[in-house]
Amino acid sequence: MNNNKLIATLLLVAATLGGCHCQQPAGAETKVYPFIRYDNNVLHYDSTSPSLQRCFAKMRRVASTGRGTVNIVHIGGSHVQAGVFPNQVRVRIMQQWPEAVGGRGMIFPYSAAAKCNNPDDYKVHCKEKVVLTRNVYKAPEYPLGLCGISVTAKDTPTRIQMLLTDKSVDYGVQHIVVLGFSPQGVVPRVDVAGHEHSPSYVDSTTHRYVFNLLHPVDSFDLLFPCCEGQTFTLTGVCLGNRRPGFSYHSIGVNGAAVPDYLKCRLTDDLRLLRPDLVIFGIGINDAHEKNFDTVAFKNNYLALCDSIRRVNPNCAFIFVTNNDSYRKTGRRRYAVNTNGPLARDVFYRLAELTGGAVWDQFDIMGGLKSMEKWQKAGLAQADKVHFTRAGYRLMGNLLFDAIYNELQKKDIIPPTPLKRRGSNKNIQNNRTPDIK
């Protein structure tokens, strides 16, 4: 090959490589499914929303400079408690901006109690018996915080072992905040590699026990030195470090609906997290029954949004619409849940009322009856409500991509008007009659 041909070949290769922008970050989904509406994987919002403008600008700044902090709180039911979906978003954020890895954030030792499932990016072991309380209970025995769940050590010293198992991200835990209370004044301790630590600071008003460690850790034990007649109720654990960056807190309770979170004492925990962005994934349980009340659903959501904005008036919201789902009508018999489109309309209305965004999961996955296609593809479970691990990872990738694409824009412009698919009318002129 002569020099001219060699130069021409090199220029062609360079042009081809330079023009390729399809390389996906680690953890991204590569398989394409024909039933998924990938073109609709966007955030629907009003571009003049000040809360979203501030939030996206702050996220861009932290991503580009590695300075400052962004706290994202993802709240939901079983889709979130399972952990795969929110952790996929979390890992994609940390891998995309490795110089801006903040703390691991709020976690809860779900499997310290019997028959309670734990996210698989951390392990929990507790040999003592603890009392489980969840916000789905009609009358919770113990007060609950933002996590919506608690475990109570009672009458005996209790040890809960915790180990972060996801090695793809180094969170470097050096700051542990134990949330909980004891009427008898029991003070928790933290054991790191056989060395017990007392709290560096105790705030009895907000029920916080703060532990500052000299060196980063990925495992520790929580100790509750209860004697006969004493209790300690643990309502959450927040893991931080001394680095700036993104923290992604996931909070989920199996079976939880919006009113269940309204039973919880939210303010103190919200002040601890100081959320810049809340991703709402609650609603699949609200809309499961045939007599789904869209007005109550909307009003309960607005009350939850108000409680968050009392702590941070500038907090931005992303509403994740319910996934398509089915109801069980008999042995191996299911009927499509026709409340899916009704709930979807409410989420658009909520975004309009709060200046939030909608991530239309219902539309992206294919709309009504699409859950059967997800199940046949191995992405959904037999109950036609929950996803498999592969399905949750795919959902996490899609949500991350939708957020990431917004952050790539230098100026927030109206990429997708706040309207439902298939309609040319704005949401306020195109809603179901029972949405007030």
**What pLDDT digit, counting tens, does each position of 344-385 carry?**
999 999 999 999 999 999 999 999 999 999 999 999 999 999
**Cα distances (angstroms) measured from residue 401 to each of 90, 93, 312, 395, 407:** 12, 10, 26, 10, 10
User: Tell me, what DSSP letter sits at residue 430?
Assistant: S
Q: Are 266 and 305 in contact (CB under 8 A)?
A: no
Give residue-wise pLDDT tens across range 116-150: 999 999 999 999 999 999 999 999 999 999 999 99
Question: What does the pLDDT average to over 158-170?
Answer: 95
- 308-345 burial: b if 16+ Cβ within 10 Å, else e: bbebbeebbbbbbbbbbbbbeeeeeebebbebbbbbbb
- List b or e across 278-293, with b for residues whose CB sees 16 or more CB atoms inside 10 angstroms: bbbbbbbbbbbeeebe
Give residue 332's pLDDT band: very low, low, confident or very high (50, 70, 90). Answer: confident
Indicate the helix (H) or strand (E) that contains 229.
Answer: none
Q: What is the pLDDT of residue 138?
A: 93
Regarding predicted confidence, which is higher, 327 or 317?
317
* pLDDT higher than threshold 70 for residue 92: yes
Whether residue 412 has pLDDT greater than 90: no
Q: Cα torsion at 347, 352, 353, 359 (round to 10°)?
A: 40
Interval 290-316 mean pLDDT: 97
Instruction: Assign 20 a pLDDT band (cuts: 50, 70, 90).
Output: very low
CA distance 142 to 132: 9
pLDDT at position 27: 53
With a cut of 70, say whether residue 340 has pLDDT above it.
yes
Out of 108-122, 181-195, 236-250, 398-412, least confident range? 398-412
The answer, yes or no, to whether residue 22 has pLDDT greater than 70, is no
pLDDT band at 31 (very low <50, low <70, confident <90, very high): confident
Domain-wise residue ranges, the chain:
28-102+251-436, 108-242
- The Cα 156–Cα 363 span in angstroms is 51
Same fold, 28-102+251-436 and 108-242: no
Q: Are 356 and 49 in contact (CB under 8 A)?
A: yes
pLDDT band at 1; cut points 50, 70, 90: very low
What is the dotted CATH code of the domain comprising 108-242?
A: 2.60.120.1360
User: Which tokens in the block code for residue 410?
Assistant: 């230098």
Q: For tokens 């009504």, what's the residue?
A: 368
Looking at residue 26, its pLDDT comes to 46
Residue 411 has pLDDT above 70, yes or no: no
294-321-334 Cα angle (round to 5): 80
Are 380 and 388 spatial neighbours (Cβ–Cβ below 8 Å)?
Answer: yes
CATH number for the segment(s) 28-102+251-436:
3.40.50.1110
Say yes or no to pLDDT of 429 above 80.
Answer: no
Instruction: State the average pLDDT over residues 163-192.
Output: 96
The two structure tokens encoding residue 112: 């310290």
- Tens digit of each residue's pLDDT (9 = 90 or more) over 259-272: 999 999 999 999 99
Strands 69-76, 245-252: pairing is parallel
Mean pLDDT of the chain: 89
Looking at residue 231, its pLDDT comes to 97
Q: Does the pLDDT at position 24 exceed 80?
A: no
